[in-house]
């Protein structure tokens, strides 16, 4: 019912507008088309100025309403993210000034140079000096931005510091799987044809003993405050994207092609709860690349804690291998110790064999 009412109202408004529009045409014939054209010109010239003033007020008001809801009021949660923010402010200042000035000039000119009876237009086809000025100045400004940008870019995409921890992140429809390398600090090899949702979600090659102490988990990833982390990102099916808005970072997860991303968390989740005054605060991983119908729900969580808490959490974790083969569990610590010596040669061969078989 409301549907029909709405349509009726819209149609009614249309009819009224149409009638006014038609009437104005008749009136203009009566008044003389030239006279009414000039009146319209004045009205629209005035509206140009009105639009400028209202527009600028609108820009200010919009900022007042929504500035507080953006990340601009939150300190970046990573050391590198702080550089993104400072670069953002420089860019905002520069483009903001240009925006305000050019919009003012545009609408002010439109208003000021509206048709007047005896204005003689200025025949001004070109002026080399002016054109050089507004080629060179933007070029210089942009050079500055490029330099700042590229310095950050090479830092972000360069090698992480030596002490960085490594976590592997794998996207799938529609969730994230994390893998920690375990005590030995290296990941075991994996092959996608070994994937089995129930028993081997990443397709680890069990013959590779480096993987026996790997931790595999979903939902929450634990990171350490102040410790750089390098993410090795991959995907099991389609392209996803690890979106880390609080850390100001983002990287695609591409099947078959591992990508990396590193950053240094600056605040623990607890500290962020206080800083944002939001007791429900979470570091969320949002999938930022269209990946199917569940794209909007592909959420992961990062829990940033301090080192002690992290260590306490870590000892409670059971390696994935041990979870899948509980019978071999008791032997596991010993086996790892044993193979540590011969690890270099044997597992690699085993892996080669396994791959060859496939």
Partner 1 sequence: MSNEAVVHAHGAVTTHEGHGDHHHEHHHHETFISKYVFSQDHKMIAKQFLITGMVWAVLGGLMSVLFRLQLGYPDATFPWLEDILGKWAKGGRITPEAYYALVTTHGTVLVFFVLTAGLSGTFANFLIPLQVGARDMASPFMNMLSYWFFFAASIVMLSSMFVETGPFSGGWTAYPPLSALGDASPGSKIGMDMWLISMALFVVSSLLGGLNYIATVLNMRTKGMSMTRLPLTIWALFFTAVLGVLSFPVLFSGFILLIFDRNFGTSFYLSDIFINGVGALPNEGGSAILYQHLFWFLGHPEVYIILLPAMGMVSEILSVNSRKPIFGYMAMIGSLFAIAILAFLVWAHHMFVTGLNPFLGSIFVLLTLLIAVPSAIKVFNWLTTLWRGNIRFTPGMMFAIGFVSLFISGGLTGIWLGNSALDIHLHDTYFVIAHFHIVMGVASMFGMFAGIYHWFPKMYGKYLNNTMGYIHFWVTIAGAYLIFWPMHYEGLAGMPRRYYDYSIWESFKQFVELNRFISTVAMIVFAVQLLFLFNFFYSIFKGRKVTTLNPWGANTLEWTTPIHPGHGNWVGEIPEVHRWAYDYGKDGKEFIPQTTPVGADESDHH
**Subset of residues 293 to 332 that bind partner 1, contact rule: CB under 8 A:** 293-297, 299
Give CA–CA dist 203/324, Å, rounded. Answer: 12
**Does 339 participate in binding partner 1 (rule CB under 8 A)?**
no
Give CA–CA dist 186/189, Å, rounded. Answer: 9
Cβ closest to partner 1, residue 17 vs residue 348: 17
Report, in Å, the least distance between residue 80 CB and partner 1: 9
**Does 266 participate in binding partner 1 (rule CB under 8 A)?**
no
- Tokens at 247, concatenated: 């850390």
Q: Is the Cα torsion angle 338, 344, 346, 348 positive or negative in sign?
A: positive
**Does 60 participate in binding partner 1 (rule CB under 8 A)?**
no
Report the run of H or E that residue 354 belongs to, with start and end.
helix 346-357
User: Three-state SS for 330?
Assistant: coil
Report, in Å, the least distance between residue 150 CB and partner 1: 5
**Does 48 participate in binding partner 1 (rule CB under 8 A)?**
yes
**Does 125 participate in binding partner 1 (rule CB under 8 A)?**
yes
- The site map against partner 1 for 24-43 (x = CB under 8 A) is xx-----------x--xx--
Query: Site residues for partner 1, window 145-184 (CB under 8 A)?
Result: 145-146, 148-150, 152-154, 156-158, 172-173
**Does 236 participate in binding partner 1 (rule CB under 8 A)?**
yes
Question: According to CB under 8 A, which one of 14, 93, 323, 348 is a site residue for partner 1?
Answer: 14
Which one of 99-107, 177-185, 315-323, 330-338 is the stretch in contact with partner 1 (CB under 8 A)? 99-107
Cβ closest to partner 1, residue 220 vs residue 317: 220
Question: According to CB under 8 A, which one of 138, 161, 185, 326 is a site residue for partner 1?
Answer: 138
**Does 93 participate in binding partner 1 (rule CB under 8 A)?**
no
Report, in Å, the least distance between residue 330 CB and partner 1: 32
User: For residue 220, which of 305, 129, 130 has the smallest C-alpha distance?
Assistant: 305
CB 259 within 8 A of CB 251: yes
Report the run of H or E that residue 166 belongs to, with start and end.
strand 165-172
Which one of 64-72, 212-220, 312-320, 333-341 is the stretch in contact with partner 1 (CB under 8 A)? 64-72
Query: Site residues for partner 1, window 201-220 (CB under 8 A)?
Result: 203
Report, in Å, the least distance between residue 184 CB and partner 1: 25
Q: Cα–chain-centroid distance for residue 237?
A: 21
DSSP E strands: which ranges in 173-219?
A: 175-180, 215-218
Kindly give, in sequence order, each residue whose CB lies less than 8 Å from that of residue 237, ignoring residues fewer than 6 positions away. 171, 172, 173, 255
CB 297 within 8 A of CB 173: no
User: Three-state SS for 53?
Assistant: helix
């Amino acid at each position: 019912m409301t549907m029909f009412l709405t349509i009726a109202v819209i149609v009614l408004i249309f009819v009224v507008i149409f009638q006014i529009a038609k009437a104005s045409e008749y009136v203009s014939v009566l008044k003389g088309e030239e006279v009414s054209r000039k009146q319209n010109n004045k009205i629209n010239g005035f509206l140009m100025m009105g639009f400028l003033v209202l527009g600028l007020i609108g820009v200010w008001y919009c900022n007042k309403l929504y500035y507080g809801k953006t990340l601009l009021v939150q300190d970046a949660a990573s050391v590198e993210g702080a550089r993104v923010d400072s670069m953002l402010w420089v860019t905002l200042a520069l483009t903001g000034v240009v925006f305000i000035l050019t919009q003012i000039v545009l609408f002010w000119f439109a208003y000021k140079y509206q048709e007047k009876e005896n204005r003689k237009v200025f025949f001004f086809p070109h002026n080399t000096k002016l054109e050089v000025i507004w080629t060179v100045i933007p070029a210089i400004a942009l050079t500055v931005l490029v330099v700042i940008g590229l310095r950050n870019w090479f830092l972000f995409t360069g090698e992480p510091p030596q002490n960085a921890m490594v976590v592997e992140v794998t996207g799938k429809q529609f969730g994230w799987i994390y893998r920690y390398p375990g005590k030995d600090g290296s990941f075991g090899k994996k092959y996608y044809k070994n994937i089995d949702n129930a028993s081997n979600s990443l397709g680890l090659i069990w013959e590779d003993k480096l993987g026996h102490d790997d931790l595999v988990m979903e939902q929450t990833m634990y990171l350490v405050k102040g410790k750089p982390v390098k993410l090795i990102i991959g995907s099991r099916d389609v392209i996803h994207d690890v979106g880390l808005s609080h850390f100001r970072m983002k990287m695609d997860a591409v099947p078959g092609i591992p990508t990396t991303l590193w950053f240094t968390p600056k605040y623990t989740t607890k500290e962020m709860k206080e800083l944002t005054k939001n007791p429900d605060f979470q570091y969320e991983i949002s999938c930022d690349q269209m990946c199917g119908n569940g794209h909007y729900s592909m959420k992961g969580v990062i829990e940033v804690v301090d080192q002690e808490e992290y260590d306490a959490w870590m000892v409670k974790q059971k390696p994935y291998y041990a979870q899948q083969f509980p019978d071999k569990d008791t032997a596991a610590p010993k086996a790892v110790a044993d193979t540590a010596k011969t690890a270099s040669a044997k597992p690699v061969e085993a892996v080669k064999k396994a791959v060859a078989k496939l």
